[in-house]
Amino acid sequence: MTGLFLCVTICALLTLERVNMNKLLLNCRPATVFNAANKDHRKAYYHFIKYSTWGRSPYQFLLEPGFEDIPTMCRHQLCEYYVSREFGDRIKGQPPMNKSTKLTVVKLKPKNPID
């Protein structure tokens, strides 16, 4: 009787373990490389900052070489993204701006001079 009880208990535990593994596999977040240009990725980082956890994130971001942790990597890439949006492609690792572009400086005279 004890052997049968032990066998039933082991089978129940294995079934429970399989169910838990299936839940993990069905609910796992896709492993993704963080892309600062992707609005959903920026939103996931915002939620991380707001709640101090990746638990609400639909993504599992992969750590790229040269970084020690995911938040630092995201912060660095977001900084590059916003600086390049504001100032153009003048960031290390990106192609320089077109050299044939010429700037024209125009001096404007005030309409009502104060004399």
pLDDT tens across 5-33, in order? 545 555 554 554 554 555 545 567 888 99
pLDDT band at 105 (very low <50, low <70, confident <90, very high): low
Strands 60-61 and 31-32 come out as parallel
Can you give the pTM of this predicted structure?
Answer: 0.55
CA atoms within 13 A on the CB side of 9: 6
Structure tokens at 105: 């400086």
Kindly report the number of other CB atoms within 10 A of residue 74's CB atom.
20
**Tens of pLDDT, residues 50-68:** 999 998 889 999 999 999 9
Number of H helices, E strands in the chain: 3, 2
